[in-house]
Structures are given as C-alpha cells and as structure tokens.
Amino acid sequence: MPCPVANNGKAPDKTISLYFASGTSDPTSIDRSGAVCFEIHDFNDILYIPSFQVTETAPTGSALDYLQDAIKTITGFSFGGSTTNTTAATAKNAAAAQKGITPAKGPAQCPTDLITAITTAQGAAARFGTALSQIDPGKDSSGNVNLVDWKTTTFKWQSVPDTYQQLEAAVSHVIADLQLEDVDVCTDDVNAEAEAIVVDTYLPARDTYTALAGHVASDHIVRMTSQVHSTSTYSVAVQANYPSGNVSGGSKTFSLAAGRKILSSSGGFLITEVPSTSYSSVTAPSGMTSPATENVLAVNNPSGPSLGLTALLNVYLPNISKLSLNGYNWGLALSAGPTYNLTNGKADTSKFGLFAGVSLHIRSQLFLTPGFNLGEYSSWPVGFSHAGQVIPANAGTPTGVSRWTTRFGFAITFKIKDFGQSTTATPATPTAKSAPTTAPAKATPTTVPAKATTTN
C-alpha cells in the first residue's frame, strides 16, 4: 500500500526506513521538517496488525546556559604563562466433517449427488482449516503470542492455496447441486448442512484467505505518515498486535536524532583591531650631567591587531525554499558573544567586550566569523600625547584613560555544545529480504491506521 497522504492531501516526498527485525533506521536523523513517510520493513503483516506511536522531544533549556558553559570553557584557557481468527472456524469445520450427514429415511428422492458434494466440501473445509492452522504463531510458556517473522509464515503458507482451491471447487459443486430438480424434497438436515457449508464455512474462509493472500504477496512494508520537525528528536514505537493476546517481543522502538540544530555554543580566539595599548614608566638618559637619567612614558602595543578570547552563540540560518543555507558539510549562522583580553596568558575577565558577525561553519564544528568587536582600550594618559614624554618626578606610572570603540575582528572558534541534542540515533543495518514463495492475488490489507502523535 502507498504511504498515506499528509494533511495537505499530498503524498510525502521524504522517506525514513525502519527495520523491524533489527530495530534500526535509515537515515538516523530528521534533516527536514514537514510530512515524512515512515516505512516499517520486514513486518509480518500476514499475522499481525501494526500500531504506531510517534513521540517528539523538542529542544529544552536556555541558550544562556549554553553561553555560560562556553564562557567557562574559554576563560579557563591557559597558555603557559488484518487478520481473521480462524481457530474457531477450523474447529467448526472439523466437527462438521466428523459429524457427517445421515440421509433421512424414507423415499430416496433427495439427490445423492448433493449429499456427496456436501460431504466432500466438509472434508475440503477441514483440510483447509488444518493447513491454515500451520501459520498460527502459537503461544509461549507465559501465554503470550509468539512473534514470527514473515519468511517463516510465508513458508508455512505454501500448502494453503491448494487446500483453498479444493474447498472452492467442492463448494461450487454444492451450489450447483442445489439447483437440481428434487432438492425441495430433501430433509431439513440436508438443507441446513448445505447452507452451513456455503454461508458459515465457505464465505468466512474466502474472506480470510483473500486478506491473508494479499498480505503474503505484499512487500511486507507497513507505511505511515507523520509531521516532523528537523530540530526535534523522535521516538517511534511500532507494536505488533494479534487478536488472541499480547505478542511476546512485539514492540520495537526507533530513535531518530534532530538533523537540524537551532544553535551551538563555541569558544576560541579573536583577532581584533581594538587596541590593547598599555603604558609604563621607563628610565632614559636625560642628556644632562645631573641627573643623568629621567623617567619617560613608554607605550606598549600602540597599533595593529591584538589577540583575545571569545565565547559565541551561533544561531543557524534556516533554509529558504530550495536555497540551502545549512547542510551537513557547511552552513551559515549569526554569531554573538562576549570577548576577553589576554593578560599573562589568561583571559582578563575585567576587560571584556562584545563581538558579533556572520559565521561560516564547517560540519558544525569549526566557525569562521568576520564581524565587529565593541571593546575597551586605554587612550593617552591625561597630560600625555606621545611616547617618550618626561614623567614628572614623584608622579608615578601614568594611567591610560579607558575609552570604547568598535573595530573589525575575526573569530576562529570551535563547537562546545549543541542546543537541544538529546537522542542517540539507531544506525541502519537492514536485514536481507527475499521474495515470497507464493503470489496469490492481492487484496486490500487489513492494517489499522497509525495512532495519534504524542508530544512530550
């Protein structure tokens, strides 16, 4: 059967294969939002009726928690410094065959051909019931129905089509003999047996055989449609049901990871044009005899780029129609976070700024981000305008005046944590399939619709 249509009336164009025998899936993640067709392979739809439950786990937590983790990481851096129940019908057919028919005494006007045809049909019904009972899965020591794979059931099915055709032929003779001229003088017992073999035995047997034959000839793939979100993780539970009891080991659960992430935290290095200027007092010759030396202003790192640390939150850009802005190998993100100066090989948490830009990520692991850095720097101390100026006696080391500026920066950061990643996917190791050994005419399978999706 084809996959059910989605809410918009269209068939889903995305398929996820779930392998019932091994409990694995292919692919292992949801990489696109919308309607998806779940195909449950190697499900024994000959004997069991499937039911489904899809549970969604949306991303939880706060993005600020992830940023805090990233800040702790980078500030800690140090650089040295259908199935019909046939059991009752089989028992009834066998009882009828053992009972037989005793023609009424009296005038031998009832056609003997009819009586013979009824007896033959009862025997054929018993043989059909016996053959059909071979595919019964049976029960274990706990009273639960055994789980049997479709290949075993198909093998045991091989004798069923012949016995059904014999039953159908025998019943056709009964129906034909009911048209004989002297049938109206047959006893009520004969008429009742003729009616029972046609109405009570053959018609239910025909419905059962037609349904089962359709399932035997199917591809043993059960399909369901569900709406999914690529940023959520999913658990898909598939249950095999049997009319006469619970199925032992009949439940399989498949885990699917989120294929698209909302955001990631990352930490690493920032190359910035914001100056990291500092000032100190150094001794220099005065050019006079006394004193021979004097204290002058020294300027450290007066210009050029400087190196700092940054922790970023990277929000992935969504795809726009057929324009893919994010994939497995690369993508784009908006990034922002705090920056820190490096002092003595460590992050100086007393001097921080803000950095924002557009990131190019490689497999969501490495983020290359050009952007702008809002940072604080030390301007000239009061009364000074250039290096080498004499520092008045007893004035101490001059202190620069703190000022804010926005300059170009380039960040190279590495992923620390993904937002909302909480499910480990089940990898695909599908089992080999073989074609059914018989191919009766197909009929509409008696599967049940998928259960309603539940969301945690």
Q: What is the pLDDT of residue 62?
A: 72
Torsion sign (Cα): 101, 105, 107, 108? positive
DSSP letters for 132-177: HHTT---B-TTSPBPP--HHHHHHHGGGHHHHHHHHHHHHHHHHHH
Q: What pTM does this model have?
A: 0.62
Question: Which pair of tokens denotes residue 323?
Answer: 């324009």
Per-residue pLDDT of the chain (456 residues; tens, 9 = 90+): 789 988 888 889 899 999 998 889 999 888 888 899 999 999 999 999 999 999 998 877 777 777 787 788 877 776 554 334 444 444 444 444 444 454 444 455 688 888 899 999 999 999 999 999 999 999 999 999 999 999 999 999 999 999 999 999 999 999 988 888 777 778 888 888 888 999 999 999 999 999 999 999 989 999 999 999 888 889 999 999 998 889 999 999 999 988 778 888 999 999 999 888 888 888 787 766 677 778 888 888 777 788 889 999 999 988 777 787 887 788 999 999 999 887 766 666 677 899 999 999 998 899 999 999 998 888 888 878 788 788 887 777 788 888 888 999 999 999 988 875 444 445 544 443 433 333 333 333 333 333 334 333
- Given a contact cutoff of 8 angstroms between Cβ atoms, the answer to whether 83 and 243 are in contact is yes
Q: Domains of the chain: which residue ranges?
A: 1-60+84-260+423-456, 263-418
* Secondary structure, 3-state, 51-94: EEEEEEECCCCCHHHHHHHHHHHHHCCCCCCCCCCCHHHHHHHH
Quote the pLDDT of residue 2.
83
355 phi, psi to nearest 5 deg:
-130, 140
pLDDT at 284: 80
Q: Which two tokens stand for residue 279?
A: 């000032």
- Residue 29 is inside which H or E element, if any? strand 29-30
Instruction: Report the 10 Å Cβ neighbour count for 179.
Output: 8
- Per-residue burial over 270-287, b if 16 or more Cβ lie within 10 Å, else e, is bebbbbbbebeeeeeeee
Residue for token pair 């399978």: 445
Q: Find how far residue 360's CA is from the centre of its chain.
A: 27
**What was the pLDDT predicted at 384?**
84
**Which of 422, 456, 425, 454 is closest to 54 using CA atoms?**
454
Tokens 């191919």, located at residue: 439
Helices 203-216, 160-177: axis angle to 10 degrees equals: 150
The number of angstroms, rounded, from the C-alpha of 265 to the middle of its chain's C-alpha atoms is 24
